[in-house]
Structure 1
Amino acid sequence: MKNKKSTAPEGEHILSTEFFSQVIDSMPDYSIFSVDNDLKINSWSSGSTQLFQYEVEEIMGKDFDIIFTEDDKTKGLPKTETTKALQDGKAVDNRWHIRKDGSKFYAYGQVYPLKGEDGEVKGFVKILRDLTERQNAEKYAKDVEELSVHKESILFILSHDFRTLLTGVTGTAEYLNKNFDKMDKAAAKEMLQLLQITSKQQLDLLDYLVEWARIKYASEAFAPVKINLYTDVKKVFDALNDIAVTNKVHLHNNIKKNINVFADSEMLFSILHSLLNNAIKYSHKEGKIVVRAKTKENSIIIEIKDDGLGITKEIKDKLFTPEITTISNTWKKDKEAGIGLILSKGFVEKNGGKIWVESTEGAGSSFYFTLPSEKTK
């Protein structure tokens, strides 16, 4: 095809297609390529080859969606990008993309419509820049910040709850040591029982803190596997049967037997045990606790519902935070309940889920948490 004769004034330069191609190929940090109206790739820069690993001859004529994750393809995002570019003049996004070898990278991208001289859309151009290192740096900074927050939380608990329990133990032991010979036998026995109960609370609190620290600071402890949810709930019911019978609370496992989650088994047991234990403690006599689950997209939503005391707004706003153990009410007296909720939140989030509560004072509570239904990358 012959080039059109230049009509530019003398002394001005015409920027040819070859010149633009050289400019594009001189930017190896960027992937720049175009697709036609059928979303088939019809140009491919050297930066694209470097980023996606496809050579020009391998990629030409392939569908635009070849660079998108399966999840994004299912959502129809390749078409969404071009539609938005047509409507707004460009589409901008930050998302994960797929290389030839299946590895993923995080990129900032822009899509623009390509128009001919008559204004007709000829296709689209996509410009990408790899942000994986920046994304990893931001994740590292976030992880450091999270560890700092959890360290402060542990110190908060140690300085308040643990110190309070230790003070009670040492104070009682000191009194007994000084006055045992002249104390009434019944009074001495009562103080010894108090000492035993307080020591047990202290040991339980220490176990919670050790477990929390183990999960937060030892990544090798995290081992997610496929778990049958019905079976795991039944195991926790068996473990809590005595306390449920003592409190005359009825446990109902309404989980369908074919529902599975992908999570760390020890963490899941701890989450279920903590939430169910709390539900039993704050239920009325002859109360009922129901555990059920439903699937939503790639997650399982687990609900633990009781018809007990319910939760005030003051408490609800501080659940899953260290402040829960300092509120002047029954939760302050039961350190395990507050610490257990903080621990459960950490475990749920470690497994890629979230946790929340819905409650009406005097009418019971529903604790919800989500877990992946299958292995995530």
Structure 2
Amino acid sequence: MNTTNPNKDFIRRRDIASKQDPSIHEVPKKITSNSKFLLERIQELEDANKELNSRYDLSKKKLTEIVETNTKFIRIIAHDLRSPFSAIIGILEILKEGIHNYDMEEIESFINTAFESANKTLNLLDNLLIWTVLQNKKKSFNPVKINLFELVREEFEIASSQSKPKFINCINDIATGVFVSADLQMSKTILRNLINNAIKFTNVYGEIKVSSNEIDLFVEIIVQDNGIGISAEAQKELFKSRDFQFTEGTNHEQGTGLGLLLCKEFVNTHGGEIHIISKVNEGSKFIFTLPHYI
């Protein structure tokens, strides 16, 4: 009885097949190579999937923060617009119904209150308008050559309706030959908000000074006051978009901190930086940089 060993038979047939087709020896190698390639591709896909999930979580978090910030922002704007209008309407109603019941000093006081409320509303609307522009910075960003001395002079003139009632001395210490390369509207907004902020926190007969230092590719601009200053704890929250700051000025001026957020956004758009140096009862310095026009 003949018994055939199956292993020997397989080896014999393989040897015959390999003589007919030598490439058969390459099959195991190709299988191993393809398996390794597939494993690498699977790992890459898994890594990509993790990255996408991470980006999704981050985007979801950012979107949630934006929605929360905008909701709070709209609520604040609605409140801040209602308050000054209510004051103006109330004063006009008093004068309409009995202007002859008040002497000139009382009438002047009413008018001053209405004027301050109107100014506050105008500043708020200006910032609101600029904020909407900020949502599309790429289309609205248009750097031009700006004479910094003239820009500060113009902004001091605009702010005089707020500084004069407090007898604040505004000093333009910018050299006449200093130029920056910046978006004009954004630059005005930065200075206007910082100057208004300085007026707000400066006492009667105080002083505000705007100066500059030319530092290579940038110009450092300092808006300084000798007002009430800002605590170290409050400084940490100044430029955070989720924490609007309600702080009363030396003459009971109100504000939300929206202006400082715009300053930070616009300075960053120019590739600059902004920070504050301040001590309680010793005044504040807001320091920011804009590209130097050389």
Shared fold, TM over 0.5:
yes
Assess, with a 3 A threshold, how the Cα gap between structure 1 residues 157 and 307 changes in structure 2: closer, same or farther: same
Assess, with a 3 A threshold, how the Cα gap between structure 1 residues 150 and 269 changes in structure 2: closer, same or farther: farther
155, 160, 163: which one pairs with 2:71? 155
Q: Is the 8 A contact 2:246 2:257 kept in 1?
A: no
Assess, with a 3 A threshold, how the Cα gap between structure 1 residues 192 and 248 changes in structure 2: closer, same or farther: closer
* C-alpha distance in 2 between matches for 1:238 and 1:199: 18
Counting matched residue pairs gives 235
Aligned to 1:51: none
1:215 aligns with 2:134: yes
> Tell me, what secondary structure is at the counterpart of 2:277?
strand
* C-alpha distance in 2 between matches for 1:255 and 1:146: 40
Assess, with a 3 A threshold, how the Cα gap between structure 1 residues 360 and 257 changes in structure 2: closer, same or farther: same
| Paired residue type of 1:253 | N
1:261 aligns with 2:180: yes
> Tell me, what secondary structure is at the counterpart of 1:340?
helix
> Tell me, what secondary structure is at the counterpart of 1:210?
helix
> Tell me, what secondary structure is at the counterpart of 2:171?
strand
Unaligned runs of 5+ in 1: 1-137
* C-alpha distance in 1 between matches for 2:281 and 2:234: 13
> Tell me, what secondary structure is at the counterpart of 2:219?
strand
* C-alpha distance in 1 between matches for 2:119 and 2:113: 10
Q: Is the 8 A contact 1:300 1:373 kept in 2?
A: yes
Instruction: Describe how 1:76-225 pairs up with structure 2 within 5 A.
Output: 152-163=68-79, 165-166=81-82, 201-202=120-121, 204-217=123-136, 219-225=138-144
Deviations 1:103-135 (CA, angstroms, capped at 9, x unpaired):
xxxxxxxxxxxxxxxxxxxxxxxxxxxxxxxxx
245, 249, 256: which one pairs with 1:325? 245
Assess, with a 3 A threshold, how the Cα gap between structure 1 residues 159 and 254 changes in structure 2: closer, same or farther: same
* C-alpha distance in 2 between matches for 1:266 and 1:143: 31
Q: Is the 8 A contact 1:154 1:209 kept in 2?
A: no
Aligned to 1:360: 279
Q: Is the 8 A contact 2:84 2:121 kept in 1?
A: no
> Tell me, what secondary structure is at the counterpart of 1:321?
coil
* C-alpha distance in 1 between matches for 2:292 and 2:183: 12
Instruction: Describe how 1:227-242 pairs up with structure 2 within 5 A.
Output: 227-242=146-161
Greater C-alpha Rg: 2
Q: Is the 8 A contact 2:200 2:249 kept in 1?
A: no
Cα deviation for residue 219 of structure 1 reads 2.8
Percent identity of the aligned residues?
Answer: 28
- Of Structure 1 and Structure 2, the greater helix share is in 2
Q: Is the 8 A contact 1:263 1:351 kept in 2?
A: yes
* C-alpha distance in 1 between matches for 2:254 and 2:202: 17
* C-alpha distance in 1 between matches for 2:168 and 2:110: 31
Assess, with a 3 A threshold, how the Cα gap between structure 1 residues 157 and 286 changes in structure 2: closer, same or farther: same
* C-alpha distance in 2 between matches for 1:171 and 1:239: 23
* C-alpha distance in 2 between matches for 1:348 and 1:193: 34
* C-alpha distance in 1 between matches for 2:63 and 2:223: 29
* C-alpha distance in 1 between matches for 2:184 and 2:59: 23
Assess, with a 3 A threshold, how the Cα gap between structure 1 residues 206 and 269 changes in structure 2: closer, same or farther: closer
* C-alpha distance in 2 between matches for 1:344 and 1:278: 11
Deviations 1:185-240 (CA, angstroms, capped at 9, x unpaired):
77xx9999978865764454233122112122253221111212112111112222
Q: Is the 8 A contact 2:209 2:223 kept in 1?
A: yes
* C-alpha distance in 2 between matches for 1:286 and 1:192: 22
- TM-score, length-normalised on structure 2? 0.63
Aligned to 2:198: 279
Assess, with a 3 A threshold, how the Cα gap between structure 1 residues 267 and 299 changes in structure 2: closer, same or farther: same
* C-alpha distance in 1 between matches for 2:258 and 2:125: 10
Deviations 1:243-288 (CA, angstroms, capped at 9, x unpaired):
3232111122221222211110111111111111221222223222
Q: Is the 8 A contact 1:162 1:205 kept in 2?
A: no
1:313 aligns with 2:229: no
* C-alpha distance in 2 between matches for 1:152 and 1:356: 25
1:291 aligns with 2:207: no
Provide the aligned C-alpha RMSD in A: 4.2
| Paired residue type of 1:362 | N
Cα deviation for residue 303 of structure 1 reads 0.6
- TM-score, length-normalised on structure 1? 0.50
Assess, with a 3 A threshold, how the Cα gap between structure 1 residues 147 and 374 changes in structure 2: closer, same or farther: farther
> Tell me, what secondary structure is at the counterpart of 2:187?
helix
* C-alpha distance in 1 between matches for 2:71 and 2:181: 31
Aligned to 1:339: 258
Assess, with a 3 A threshold, how the Cα gap between structure 1 residues 225 and 205 changes in structure 2: closer, same or farther: same
* C-alpha distance in 1 between matches for 2:66 and 2:230: 25
